[in-house]
A = this chain, B = another copy of it.
Amino acid sequence: MKVGIKIMPRDVILDTQGRAVESSMKSNGFELLSCRVGKYVEVTVASENKAEAQSQVEKMLKEGGLYNPLIEKFEIQIN
């Protein structure tokens, strides 16, 4: 089962990459209010059970260091 993990910088964190994209887009004439840039990790696990796959991936995130809780937040997406 394929599990998607969206990892974004926490709201209180200054996202320099997002700011750079925002100002680049604006100077190219595109209209946007704000922009934040994060990561997206797609993990394929053997389990076909949604709850089990989710708990495996949560473990990778929290114990495996797949995200940095100090500056990032994550959201698990399973279709």
* Residues of chain A having any CB pair with chain B under 8 Å: 4, 6-8, 18, 21, 24-25, 28, 30-46, 56, 59-60, 64, 66
Contacts and interface: CB of A to CB of B under 8 A. Distances in A.
Given A21-B66, A25-B64, A36 B41 contact: yes
A38 to B, nearest CB: 4
B31 A42 contact: no
B7 A64 contact: no
A34 B44 contact: yes
B32 A45 contact: yes
Given A8-B42, A31-B45, A40-B40, 14 more contacts: A21-B41, A21-B66, A24-B64, A25-B64, A28-B64, A30-B56, A30-B64, A32-B43, A32-B45, A32-B46, A32-B60, A35-B44, A37-B40, A39-B40
